[in-house]
Amino acid sequence: MPEGDTVWRTAHHLHEVLAGRQLTRTDFRVPAFATVDLRGELVDEVVSHGKHLLIRTATHSIHSHLKMEGAWHVYRLGSPWRRPGHSARAVLENDEWQTVGYSLGILEVLARADEPSAVGYLGPDLLGPHWDLDEAVRRVTADPDRPVFLALLDQRNLAGFGNEYVNELLFLMGLLPTRPVGRVGDIRRVIQRGQRMLDVNKARVERSFTGSTRTGEDRWVYNRERARCRRCKNRLLSGKLGDRPTTERDTFWCPHCQT
């Protein structure tokens, strides 16, 4: 599942092959931007902000979000694609490389000056060069009655955590997903622990929260409903939590280790 670490790593790989090179072909396969042609523009940089990815030229910003199924692949020119062509939403080429965005949940081409309309609402970027812990704490604690699970997932508070990270983080910190933020003893320490988890995983292809990257051993609670807790051997529980029914997310926890 793409989360902040996946998008950071994707931006890093795209930056390596696109930055400082002139685009020789652009193909945006969504109706609103199908006629946009950025050939001849020089790519300045590729960056991530939380789970959002921005490919910047001097005048434009190609904004994408992977959602659940999206991915960007990098190919040498002429190499076969590893996903079906019908799932491609964007193709960018220079004189050596071809990058393809598949099944992107969001794809838009903005004037560089309009970039804040797409990502300006986001909170501090957990993996960004200007990460601001104090501001993240301020935003998360602004509503002390909100469940800590929802407060940490809210990208307006801090950008980069997804469902998997928050479930695993709350287990490691011994907190029930439903515990109100105001009843968390040290939310700063919780956020710092989560930021370190993202930072460690950003360079890994296989994400791990337990220290093991072996299949089936890399998670404490996420997607392990009805399995036994690795610490206390009690049966894990699962449920849903959201500010409203349409935004409910899956939760997983140990009834003994989390309070």
Q: What is the pLDDT of residues 38-97, one digit of tens each?
A: 999 999 999 999 999 999 999 999 999 999 899 999 999 999 999 999 999 999 999 999
The share of the chain scoring above pLDDT 90, in percent, equals 93
Q: Which two tokens stand for residue 174?
A: 């011994």
Decide if pLDDT at 122 tops 80: yes
The model's confidence at residue 246, banded by pLDDT at 50, 70 and 90, is confident
Q: Is 3 a catalytic residue?
A: yes
CA–CA dist 203, 159 (Å, integer): 18
Q: Out of 3, 93, 108, 164, pick the active-site residue.
A: 3
Contact in structure between 177 and 147 (CB atoms under 8 Å): yes
Average pLDDT over residues 208-228: 93
CA–CA dist 257, 12 (Å, integer): 37
Q: What radius of gyration, in Å, describes the C-alpha atoms of the chain?
A: 20
Average pLDDT over residues 123-145: 97
Question: What is the per-residue pLDDT for 206?
Answer: 86
pTM as predicted = 0.93
Decide if pLDDT at 232 tops 90: yes
Q: Out of 51, 93, 108, 202, pick the active-site residue.
A: 51
The model's confidence at residue 1, banded by pLDDT at 50, 70 and 90, is low
Query: DSSP characters for 75-103?
Result: EETTPPPSS-GGGEEEEEE-SSEEEEEES
Q: Specify the 3-state DSSP secondary structure of 134.
A: helix
Q: Is 51 a catalytic residue?
A: yes
Structural domains of the chain, ranges and CATH numbers in brackets: 4-119 (3.20.190.10), 133-253 (1.10.8.50)
Q: What is the DSSP letter of 234?
A: P
Q: What is the mean pLDDT of the chain?
A: 96
Q: Is 116 a catalytic residue?
A: no
Question: What is the per-residue pLDDT for 177?
Answer: 98
pLDDT tens for 140-166 read 999 999 999 999 999 999 999 999 999
Decide if pLDDT at 175 tops 80: yes
CA–CA dist 78, 25 (Å, integer): 13
Average pLDDT over residues 246-257: 95
Residues near 89 by beta carbon (within 8 Å), at least 6 away in sequence: 28, 29, 30, 64, 101, 102, 103, 104, 107
